[in-house]
Homo-oligomer: A and B are copies of this chain.
Amino acid sequence: MPIEFPFRKLPTRQTASMASGYIPDADLSRVEAALICVRTMNDLYQSVEANLSRFGLSVGRLGILILLHNSGEAGRTPSELADEGGITRATVTGLLDGLEKEGLVERIKHPGDRRMLHIRMTPKGRDLIAAVLPSHVQLIAWALGSLTEAEIQQLIALAEKIGTGSPPRT
């Protein structure tokens, strides 16, 4: 009774055989679907990473730049970037280190509160994001290019229906 490798690109077609005896039959297809989806999204994610690396960026770094882009002249504090980006403050610190080293971003002392910083994009940062975005969104759109508009709407509906409440305490 082979068990399918979790969350990897793999033979994958006989996932049905996964965990026989561990799971009610009705749930087998759920697990199979989850594995296929995670693998597909992982592949897409890696394509995106590869594309961004040509510009010296990563998904995380691009995320920071986009958040700053959306902030206009005001900039953002690292905490805001963390909250809006759904990552920890420590991670933001690391990403900002990289971005600042490449001159894409600058840390500016907050006048009112000496604990805070203001992060602002440099002109170089703005140039880079303008250069990257077309390629970035084109790649993403291409990946889903084989889906019709109706299928895309289906996919969105299904993805949104997948719950992420509190998991069972098994």
Q: Which A residues contact B (CB, under 8 angstroms)?
A: 2-11, 18-19, 22-23, 26-27, 29-38, 40-45, 47-48, 50-51, 59, 62-63, 66-67, 69-70, 84-87, 133-147, 149, 151-156, 158-164, 167-168, 170
Taking A34-B143, A36-B156, A41-B42 as given, write out 11 further A-B residue pairs in contact, using a Cβ cutoff of 8 Å, ordered by the A residue number.
Answer: A4-B66, A6-B63, A6-B66, A8-B85, A8-B86, A18-B137, A22-B137, A29-B152, A30-B144, A51-B170, A138-B170
For this chain, the copies found in one complex come to 2
- A50 CA to B164 CA in the complex, in Å? 13
Across the interface, do A147 and B30 meet the contact criterion of CB distance under 8 Å?
yes
Give every chain B residue within 8 A of A87 (Cβ-Cβ).
8
Give every chain B residue within 8 A of A51 (Cβ-Cβ).
167, 170
Most buried by B among A51, A146, A155, A163: A155
User: Could you tell me the dominant secondary structure of chain A's interface residues?
Assistant: helix
- A57 CA to B78 CA in the complex, in Å? 32
CB distance from A125 to the nearest CB of B (A): 14
Give every chain B residue within 8 A of A19 (Cβ-Cβ).
133-134, 137
Across the interface, do A27 and B141 meet the contact criterion of CB distance under 8 Å?
yes
Our pick among B10, B43, B138 for the contact of A164 (Cβ within 8 Å) is: B43
CB-based nearest B residue for A3: B66
CB-based nearest B residue for A71: B2
Across the interface, do A137 and B5 meet the contact criterion of CB distance under 8 Å?
no
CB-based nearest B residue for A153: B29
CB distance from A92 to the nearest CB of B (A): 12
Across the interface, do B41 and A141 meet the contact criterion of CB distance under 8 Å?
no
